[in-house]
Amino acid sequence: MFEEMVMKPAAWLTDEGKDSEIVLSSRIRLARNISNIPFPSVAQSEDRERVISFLQKAIQKSSLLKSGQLYTSSELSRLDKDFLIERHLVSPEFMREGNTKALYIGEEEKISLMINEEDHLRIQALKSGLEIKGAFELADEVDTELASILEFDFDPDFGYLTSCPTNVGTGMRASVLIHLPGLVLTKEIENVISQVTKLGLTVRGFYGEGSDVLGNLFQISNQTTLGKSEEDLVESLEMVTLQIVEYENNSRKTLYREAKEQIEDKIWRAIGILQNARVITSNEVTNLLSAIRLGLGMGTITDIPLSVINQILLISFPAHLQKYFNKEMEPNERDTLRAELIRKKLGGKIKNNL
Amino acid sequence: MLCDDCQKREATIQVTQIANNQKMSLNLCQKCAEKRGFHSPFEGVPFPLAEFLSSMISPLGPGKEKKPFAKTEREAKCPTCGMSFSNFAHRGRLGCGSCYKAFRTQLKDLLRKIHGSDRHRGKIPNLPGEEMEYLKEERKLQGELKKAIDEEDFEIAAQIRDKIKNLQERK
């Protein structure tokens, strides 16, 4: 499954959209529950099946969700699920515990629906670059259309009702994935994070809550969902993100002024490793590509498009690599094939203008 | 500043103890602080949301929920799905939409702590019912009020404000 999808760029990694070298992607997620059915965590399997069949019918009636496809969790292998997590189409929770879940993937992966995750329905809109408003409009249209077919749990005081009270109200989580090597290198990042946190936003490192941030990638999202309108939440995330992009650009200027050789050395070494490595892990690739992305942003490197960097990043993730070669592999084998594939993709492309 | 105990490592933790009306401050490094038995509450624990929520609900914090609520309150149950409030406090997840009605008072308090608000101000779906009509009317009036204030038409603004007040009283 998904063999053709692996050859296409993921919706969060095309090089389209505003400031896409720094802001990789914008995402909106709306949590909804169908009235008069218990939330998934306590629902019996018949109820969970009812939810899937209600949504299946609603998708068929919908005009916005015509050209996608619905998958049930039982037809997805472990590798399929990892692949979908890497493409940001499902959450890690989606593949944990319990069955009777389903996933709808829309055209170009811009819209996806997770069914029976923590809530009956999670509508997700994903766009490359700083496009929070665009992503919100997309998710909002789908919500409005589905609400004309289904009845969602809503309380006049509390808004949209969700399984966890941290999502109640708008049920909306808006987020951006942002690349901040300049702020990390100048050690300004802690300062920025603490300021952002004061504004009601949350900052997390890429992929989980581990201590090491992978590839200088951060996710910023709204912390609260109740008491503000969707438009206000989107607006404040956008304003803060624009501000951070400016901080990042300033810190890059500082780096270029104060430590040009060291930064260029870092970038060229990253290219050297990727062009020559024989064994390489996915995490190492993510970190090295961060340096190359920085090099593209600062104009140190010019002869490679951002789209190639994005493709290498995506294809290097473990499940993507296995889908690409169409076989399941142990980590050792993956690391060798990954190195080989990257050498082919980057071979001779970047010239070192001495 | 060096650690008061080992005098070798940088002190990163400040501990203030009050014993027998005597205040004592210590500057310690991570290691010596652990030796003395001071642990960061966040250290090493995965910080599950359920525990976080239950600590907000129970004033004594997680694990010490002996008497956080009067008995009757803790045994309130959702008539639709049977979830009890203590079960919710333990799991951090509600069972169904009706839970929000069954535990309205307690949840209002919790939502204020989480979100700083207990009132939805976002999108309204097109649902039938008297309550929804009130809500739509209120939103419409609030929009008009904002417009009147923006246009500095304070006479109209005052009229709209009275209408909103009336509406809320009728509700």
Q: What is the ipTM of this complex?
A: 0.85
Higher pLDDT, B45 or A151: A151
Residue of B nearest to A47 (CA): B96
Non-local CB neighbours of A189 within 8 Å, separated by 6+ positions: A180, A183, A218
Condensed to tens digits (0 to 9), the pLDDT of residues A90-111 reads 888 887 766 789 999 998 899 9
User: Pairing relation of β-strands A201-205 and A69-72?
Assistant: unpaired
The minimum CA-CA distance between B158 and chain A, rounded to whole Å, is 24
Q: Across all residues in chain A, what is the average pLDDT?
A: 90
Q: Which helix (H) or strand (E) holds A291?
A: helix A282-298
Note whether A205 contacts B: Cβ–Cβ < 8 A: no
Given this model, what pLDDT does residue B56 score?
A: 67
Condensed to tens digits (0 to 9), the pLDDT of residues A163-205 reads 999 999 999 999 999 999 999 999 999 999 989 988 889 998 8
Q: What is the spatial order of strands in the sheet that A111-115 belongs to?
A: A69-72, A102-105, A111-115, A121-128, A23-32, A172-179, A217-222, A201-205
Given this model, what pLDDT does residue B138 score?
A: 87
Given this model, what pLDDT does residue B44 score?
A: 37
Tell me the average pLDDT across A49-57: 95
Tell me the chain A residues in contact with residue B124 when contact means C-beta distances shorter than 8 Å: 154
Given this model, what pLDDT does residue A262 score?
A: 93
What does the DSSP 8-state code read for residue A21? T
CA dihedral B129, B135, B136, B140 (to 10 degrees): 160
Tell me the chain A residues in contact with residue B83 when contact means C-beta distances shorter than 8 Å: 42
pTM for this structure? 0.83
Higher pLDDT, B9 or A63: A63
- The token duo for A149 is 């077919």
CA atoms within 13 A on the CB side of A58: 22
CA B126 to chain centre: 28
Given this model, what pLDDT does residue B46 score?
A: 38
At A23, the amino acid letter reads V
The neighbour count for residue A352, using CB atoms within 10 Å, is 8
Band of the pLDDT at A209, cuts 50, 70, 90? very low
Judge whether residue A149 has pLDDT over 90.
yes
DSSP class per residue in A85-105: HHTTSS-HHHHSS----EEEE
Given this model, what pLDDT does residue A281 score?
A: 93
CA dihedral B98, B101, B106, B109 (to 10 degrees): 110
Given this model, what pLDDT does residue A207 score?
A: 58
Residue closest to A31 by CA, chosen among A130, A154, A208, A202: A154
Is residue A220 within 8 Å of residue B110, measured between CB atoms? no
Q: Which residues pair with A178 in a beta bridge?
A: A23, A218
Measured CA to CA, the distance from residue B30 to residue B42 in angstroms comes to 14
Condensed to tens digits (0 to 9), the pLDDT of residues A315-354 reads 999 999 999 999 999 999 999 999 999 999 887 666 665 5
User: Pairing relation of β-strands A217-222 and A172-179?
Assistant: antiparallel
Given this model, what pLDDT does residue B37 score?
A: 67
At B21, the amino acid letter reads N
Residue in B93, B123, B131 closest to A163 by CB: B93
Residue closest to A315 by CA, chosen among A349, A274, A348, A350: A274
Q: Which residues pair with A203 in a beta bridge?
A: A220
Given this model, what pLDDT does residue B168 score?
A: 79
Q: Which residues pair with A34 in a beta bridge?
A: A152
Judge whether residue A1 has pLDDT over 90.
no
Residue closest to A34 by CA, chosen among A17, A53, A19: A53
Tell me the chain B residues in contact with residue A158 when contact means C-beta distances shorter than 8 Å: 100, 107, 111, 118, 120
Low-confidence residues of chain B: pLDDT under 50: 40-47, 60-74
